[in-house]
Structure 1
Amino acid sequence: MFEYAPAPESRAIVDIKPSYGLFINGEWVEPLGEGREKTVNPASEEVLAEIAVASEADVDRAVQAARKAFTGWSAMPGSERAKYIFRIARIIQERARELAVLESLDNGKPIRESRDVDLPLVAAHFFYYAGWADKLSYAGFGPSPQPLGVAGQIIPWNFPLLMLAWKIAPALACGNTVVLKPAETTPLTALAFAEICRQADLPPGVVNIVTGAGETGGALVRHPDVDKVAFTGSTEVGRLIARSVAGSRKKVTLELGGKAANIVFEDAALDQAVEGIVNGIFFNQGHVCCAGSRLLVQESVADELLEALKRRLSTLRLGDPLDKNTDIGAINSAAQLAKIRELSEAGEAEGAERWSPACPIPDKGFWFPPTIFTGVAQSHRIAREEIFGPVLSVLTFRTPAEAIEKANNTPYGLSAGVWTEKGSLMLWMASRLRAGVVWSNTFNKFDPTSPFGGYKESGYGREGGRHGLEAYLAL
């Protein structure tokens, strides 16, 4: 077996300030309150920077700046707005290496994922929606769709810069202005994006970035001058937001949790399926709302597949996220690690069998080894609750009908994967799976042209593609 020498990416390309304010009306401003939080590197627990906590008054300042900027931005011809968005896309490409290192430092994901997956998709989303800015009347939403106004956007910590792109790019293309709140544990790439907006000469107030935790987000959602709320995060917080805006005129999109089924039939190419299973649940340490956290495998090939899967997991490398050889990085926070541990212990207590490869865990930081549970019943918490970590629950089935019943037996409905060589079976499954995205013989494939979103407790609304414009237009 090959031994890999360390291949660390240099931190020198990143300039992290000791302290950050709020980005309002094109300027860095100090918060009105005294609140400050620290953002840490989850791989080492090293403090990276101090971050301002925006108060309700700070959020109000940001919303007022966005409202003022809306008049000029929405009146600008789409072709002119597109120039700014194209410019942002090009600057992201130019600064991609810096942004990838910053993302891995603040989030804990392996550098090869932030470099090869996140950053290319971030730039691609801005390029894609820049192309829509002067074609909105041809998008199928009426001859003259209008922007909504001020969009309040709240993004999670698992894909900080990519979720920013998913939200800001279509909002700007449609003529809206934005107040965005990044997750409190991963604010650094959003704050770097504020500098990119200045570098692109984006008019002041078109994009505003306020940092803080749940109270800051709550103030943004409740603000009477916010016309649109976009949230990606937990189902619990999504429920609170839905209640908060109920009865108001605000337009809302929610992209929430998931408990996706990755379904492998006996005729599937098993080696290919193993790679898809690994990508489906261990990519980004399982911090993926559409992660394939439930493996449904046909009984006749279950033993063979599990043997191959365990063999493959034994080759994964856990460690320094900035090492280009690393497959599994750090868990994003101590709180998330505690949740993963609690649910894993519940799985053992309920009778499932736990397995992890021999895997040295670093002394400092937040780490959890890739883990498989077999002997899982539908009633087990690990089969029902979103773990949001590198933990796979394995169940078996005999017939396609049983696979559908088990796959749909969840309060979530975000994604699913089906592995089979039969096209007719694939289509039969896809038409019956209650999931917003169904992948065929692959998993976790994303493209800016393709819509993404869920059913049931996975939220409502779509992001990406032509469909992603609808959430930011008054139809």
Structure 2
Amino acid sequence: MLRTILSKPARRSLPTSVRFPQPLFRARCVSTVANHVIDINGREVSIPTGLFINNEFVPAIGGNTFAVEDPATGKEVIQIQEGREEDVDVAVKVARKTFESEVWANSNPAWRGELLNKLADLMQRDSEELVAIEMLDTGKTYAQASTLDVPGSIGTLRYYGGWADKVLGLTSFNIPKTFAYTRREPIGVCGQIIPWNFPLMMFIWKIAPALATGNTVVIKSAEATPLSALKVCELIKEAGFPAGTVNLVSGYGKTVGNAIANHMDVDKVAFTGSTTTGRMILKSSAQSNLKKVTLELGGKSPNIIFPDADIEKAVEWSAWGINMNFGQTCHAGTRIYVHEDIYDEFLAAYTKRMASIKVGDNFAADTQQGPQNSRMQFDKILGYIEIGKKEGATVHLGGKVAKTGKEGGYYIEPTIFTDVKPEMKIMKEEIFGPVVAISKFSDEAEVLALANDTTYGLAAAVHTKDYERALRMTNGLKAGTAWVNMYNFVHWSIPFGGYKESGIGRECGEAALENYTETKAVYFNMGLPAPR
């Protein structure tokens, strides 16, 4: 849901030259859709507040707005326009008109690629503003937003910009007296719904392959983190994309998301989020126009440490496995299985590493873990910690609200559970926070069974110096991504998605182009007589 280069976590400090202390908010709004100017340590960042439809920021038809809060303080930052069903309908009509015209689907694919690269250039130009917005909106640290989220988004645009004129069909002379070929055509109007944990990256992961293949888009950002998508829409217009190619309707899942999923003139829906909501979207597709659906859903991923692993490196990667985005990652390594021969050694080293993580204000230079994204997520994580205690697991480290010296904000200590059992909720359900459970195993067969004992299948990792073992294990793990001697490394050029209840289809790589094209077979008669 992590959805780019997610490289090994260096213990970084925020460079003083680009430090953004906790921002002071100064709003200078005149009309309901005027840009809101936020002062972040002397840097004035202008953020659009309207719905983005037909290349314009417009007010919601119903005149409603909703608040966006700063997770570091729990205080309101800005009010933006709240779309509803009627706004989705307008956006879909605009997207349909643009798709059916000659300006996009039938345009020169190389030009579409140029536009994607132009957007990447503009994002590069404004990268520090995008970093600041993403930090403010999500609680991310500078280290993550500046080295993962923003550059990963730019890299994704450039990657699909290169694909735009390379979406090819096949030819066949293999059937006597016929010539056949295939065309890969855009599907049409694509509804896209993205999550709050990687709002900028997921926005780009969704729109880039859809636009490269000639589709038009109606997209909903998460209500908790809508700001970076609004800013990028400003750049989409500046880049020169035709009006109606990308339309953003900010709002809630129960209204905007539901309207997209059920709309009879939306040809395809792509969703990243919870498995529960994914089921509802799939059901909506079946009950409406049987629109095509891709789903990138939850995970409860295993991280396996064998006795021949380099323990120091395994500890570092395992810490990154949970601390990337503070556990708010669908492929987080929340179930750690350690061979009994090295269990005590690993646990001691891992505990020391997790205890060293500095939790606090995400704009501070020495912070490694900022706030959880929202009050709802904060309460959910703490609720799971209490469930783990009641089920009999041991809180080996953490398990409490982190003391940061600040008032407000959603800070939780890095938490390790031991003495866990496979049937416990904390071993079965996605917590989406800085909480891991560590368990022992004795042999490959046992740990493979434990690792696959989940309804999910998004990711898994194996730490070992025995590459024959690594191949056996990665072959046996039921997961869409398997890492060897690393964790939480994803790249835009490699497919990403899950087995089982972790989803349908793949994001990233060439595979994502399949999500946004229809294959048409064309036959030419080259002398074949009609049947009698």
| TM-score bracket relative to the smaller structure | over 0.9
Aligned to 1:121: 152
Residue 44 of structure 1 deviates from its aligned partner by 1.0
Q: 3-state SS of the aligned residue for 1:389?
A: coil
Aligned to 1:56: 85
Distance (whole Å) between structure 2 residues aligned to residue 138 and residue 48 of structure 1? 49
Return the match for 2:448 from 398, 404, 417: 404
Residue 234 of structure 1 deviates from its aligned partner by 0.5
Q: Is the 2:355–2:414 contact (alpha carbons within 8 Å) kept by the matching residues of 1?
A: no
Aligned to 2:43: 13
Residue 203 of structure 1 aligns to which amino acid in structure 2? P
Runs of 5+ consecutive residues of structure 2 not aligned to the other structure: 1-10, 22-39, 172-180, 520-532
Deviation per CA, 1:96-134, whole angstroms, max 9, x where unpaired?
A: 111011001001111110111111110010000000000
Q: 3-state SS of the aligned residue for 1:393?
A: strand
Q: Is the 1:136–1:144 contact (alpha carbons within 8 Å) kept by the matching residues of 2?
A: no
CA RMSD of aligned residues (A): 1.7
Distance (whole Å) between structure 1 residues aligned to residue 267 and residue 170 of structure 2? 21
Distance (whole Å) between structure 1 residues aligned to residue 434 and residue 249 of structure 2? 31
Distance (whole Å) between structure 2 residues aligned to residue 13 and residue 442 of structure 1? 37
1:445 matched to 2:489: yes
Deviates more, 1:248-257 or 1:421-430: 248-257
Aligned to 1:153: 192
Q: 3-state SS of the aligned residue for 2:337?
A: strand
1:110 matched to 2:141: yes
Distance (whole Å) between structure 2 residues aligned to residue 143 and residue 327 of structure 1? 51
Return the match for 1:69 from 75, 94, 98: 98
Residue 302 of structure 2 aligns to which amino acid in structure 1? A
Distance (whole Å) between structure 2 residues aligned to residue 418 and residue 343 of structure 1? 26
Q: Is the 1:35–1:52 contact (alpha carbons within 8 Å) kept by the matching residues of 2?
A: yes
Q: 3-state SS of the aligned residue for 2:341?
A: helix
Q: 3-state SS of the aligned residue for 1:300?
A: coil
Return the match for 1:31 from 32, 57, 60: 60
Aligned to 1:360: 403
Q: Is the 1:79–1:134 contact (alpha carbons within 8 Å) kept by the matching residues of 2?
A: yes
Residue 395 of structure 1 deviates from its aligned partner by 1.2
Distance (whole Å) between structure 2 residues aligned to residue 346 and residue 249 of structure 1? 39
Distance (whole Å) between structure 1 residues aligned to residue 383 and residue 189 of structure 2? 40
Residue 399 of structure 1 aligns to which amino acid in structure 2? D
Relative distance call for 1:54 and 1:376 in structure 2 (3 A) is same
Return the match for 1:371 from 406, 412, 415: 415
Q: Is the 1:14–1:102 contact (alpha carbons within 8 Å) kept by the matching residues of 2?
A: no
Q: Is the 2:14–2:142 contact (alpha carbons within 8 Å) kept by the matching residues of 1?
A: no
Deviates more, 1:55-64 or 1:354-363: 354-363
Residue 315 of structure 1 deviates from its aligned partner by 1.7
Deviation per CA, 1:221-274, whole angstroms, max 9, x where unpaired?
A: 111110110000001100110111015331100000000000100000001001
Residue 419 of structure 1 deviates from its aligned partner by 0.3
Aligned to 2:377: 336
Bigger fraction of residues in helix: 1
Q: Is the 2:113–2:165 contact (alpha carbons within 8 Å) kept by the matching residues of 1?
A: yes
Return the match for 2:430 from 386, 392, 396: 386
Deviation per CA, 1:370-393, whole angstroms, max 9, x where unpaired?
A: 000001100111000000000001
Distance (whole Å) between structure 2 residues aligned to residue 324 and residue 207 of structure 1? 36
Return the match for 2:346 from 305, 311, 334: 305
The 5-angstrom pairing of residues 130-145 of structure 1 reads: 130-137=161-168, 143-145=182-184
Aligned to 1:264: 305
Aligned to 2:518: 474
Q: 3-state SS of the aligned residue for 2:45?
A: coil
Residue 51 of structure 2 aligns to which amino acid in structure 1? L
Residue 360 of structure 1 deviates from its aligned partner by 2.6
1:180 matched to 2:226: no
Relative distance call for 1:139 and 1:340 in structure 2 (3 A) is farther
Q: Is the 1:264–1:296 contact (alpha carbons within 8 Å) kept by the matching residues of 2?
A: yes
Aligned to 2:256: 216
Residue 52 of structure 1 deviates from its aligned partner by 1.3
Aligned to 2:331: 290
Aligned to 2:293: 252
Deviates more, 1:389-398 or 1:356-365: 356-365
Q: 3-state SS of the aligned residue for 2:317?
A: helix
Distance (whole Å) between structure 1 residues aligned to residue 65 and residue 91 of structure 2? 18
Q: 3-state SS of the aligned residue for 1:144?
A: strand
Distance (whole Å) between structure 1 residues aligned to residue 276 and residue 54 of structure 2? 32
Deviation per CA, 1:203-231, whole angstroms, max 9, x where unpaired?
A: 11100110001111101111111011000
Deviation per CA, 1:399-446, whole angstroms, max 9, x where unpaired?
A: 011110000000100000110001100010011100000011111111
Deviates more, 1:68-77 or 1:419-428: 68-77
Distance (whole Å) between structure 2 residues aligned to residue 161 and residue 448 of structure 1? 14
Q: 3-state SS of the aligned residue for 1:282?
A: helix
Distance (whole Å) between structure 2 residues aligned to residue 231 and residue 197 of structure 1? 21
The 5-angstrom pairing of residues 319-330 of structure 1 reads: 319-330=360-371
Aligned to 2:283: 243
Distance (whole Å) between structure 1 residues aligned to residue 15 and residue 454 of structure 2? 42
> What percentage of residue pairs aligned between the two structures are identical?
43
Relative distance call for 1:429 and 1:367 in structure 2 (3 A) is same
TM-score (norm 2): 0.86
1:434 matched to 2:478: yes
Distance (whole Å) between structure 1 residues aligned to residue 237 and residue 508 of structure 2? 25
Residue 121 of structure 1 aligns to which amino acid in structure 2? G
Relative distance call for 1:380 and 1:256 in structure 2 (3 A) is same
Q: Is the 1:451–1:466 contact (alpha carbons within 8 Å) kept by the matching residues of 2?
A: yes
Distance (whole Å) between structure 1 residues aligned to residue 43 and residue 407 of structure 2? 26
Residue 51 of structure 1 deviates from its aligned partner by 1.5
Residue 94 of structure 1 deviates from its aligned partner by 1.3
Q: 3-state SS of the aligned residue for 1:310?
A: helix
Relative distance call for 1:368 and 1:16 in structure 2 (3 A) is farther
Deviates more, 1:326-335 or 1:358-367: 358-367
Q: Is the 1:112–1:324 contact (alpha carbons within 8 Å) kept by the matching residues of 2?
A: no
Aligned to 1:346: 387
Residue 256 of structure 1 aligns to which amino acid in structure 2? L
TM-score (norm 1): 0.96
Residue 38 of structure 1 deviates from its aligned partner by 0.2
Residue 385 of structure 1 aligns to which amino acid in structure 2? E
Larger radius of gyration: 2
Aligned to 2:464: 420
Relative distance call for 1:304 and 1:277 in structure 2 (3 A) is same
Aligned to 1:205: 244
Residue 240 of structure 2 aligns to which amino acid in structure 1? D
Distance (whole Å) between structure 1 residues aligned to residue 43 and residue 243 of structure 2? 27
Deviates more, 1:51-60 or 1:399-408: 51-60
Aligned to 1:80: 111
